[in-house]
């Protein structure tokens, strides 16, 4: 840690090489000089702070313009959401209730008006439970007893 402190002072020309050699070896000093000689050959890219600030501000303004939507875009989104909502509602509300039995199987259940059904072997009954109050209609294939 102390070596880094004195190395930084030497790089900033705050201490001489002799003072630095009190804290590091000559081999290390020679390595550091090689590194400095190599890096002096590199040219740092030019940087204009004012130009960079202008570019950043213009990018920020462009992004804020992109984020703004118009009324038509929002209305399309709302219309699409409503179309999805109503189509899902339509398919869910028109869903049929289905009971069926296999060979050697019988089941008992109640219809929405609380009437009891005994569905016999190898039979099937379908009806729309949510529309039962408006239209009491069912399809029966096979044999069933109603109470």
Contact 101/125 with Cβ under 8 angstroms?
no
Give the Å distances, CA to CA, from 80 to 49, 69, 98: 47, 16, 32
Average pLDDT, the chain: 85
Does one domain contain both 101 and 140?
Answer: yes
pLDDT at 39: 78
The DSSP 8-state label assigned to residue 44 in this structure reads P
Distance CA 77, CA 11 (A): 62
Domain-embedded: residue 64: yes
Q: What are phi and psi of 42, to 5 degrees?
A: -80, 140
Domain-embedded: residue 46: no
Domain-embedded: residue 111: yes
Specify the number of domains making up the chain: 3
Contact 96/127 with Cβ under 8 angstroms?
yes
Give the predicted TM-score (pTM) of the model. Answer: 0.42
> What range does the domain containing 26 cover?
2-38
pLDDT at 13: 82
**What six digits make up the tokens of 19?**
């003072």
Does one domain contain both 103 and 142?
Answer: yes
63 vs 131: which has the higher pLDDT: 131
pLDDT at 116: 95
Which residues make beta-bridge pairs with 98?
126
Contact 147/133 with Cβ under 8 angstroms?
no
Domain-embedded: residue 77: yes
> pLDDT tens, 77-124?
999 999 999 999 888 877 888 999 999 899 999 998 899 999 999 999
Does one domain contain both 18 and 34?
Answer: yes
Domain-embedded: residue 49: no
pLDDT at 102: 93
């Amino acid at each position: 840690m102390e070596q880094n402190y004195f190395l930084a002072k030497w790089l900033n020309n705050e201490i001489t090489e002799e003072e630095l050699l009190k804290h590091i070896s000559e081999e290390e000093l020679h390595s550091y000089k090689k590194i400095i000689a190599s890096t002096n050959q590199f040219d740092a890219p030019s940087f204009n702070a004012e130009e960079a600030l202008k570019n950043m501000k213009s990018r920020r303004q462009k992004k804020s313009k992109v984020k703004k939507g118009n009324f038509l875009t929002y209305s399309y989104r709302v219309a699409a959401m409503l179309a999805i909502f109503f189509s899902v509602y339509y398919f869910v509300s028109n869903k049929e209730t289905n009971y069926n039995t296999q060979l050697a199987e019988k089941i008992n259940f109640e219809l929405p008006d609380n009437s009891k059904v005994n569905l016999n072997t190898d039979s099937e009954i379908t009806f729309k439970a949510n529309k039962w109050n408006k239209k009491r209609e069912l399809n029966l294939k096979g044999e069933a007893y109603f109470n």
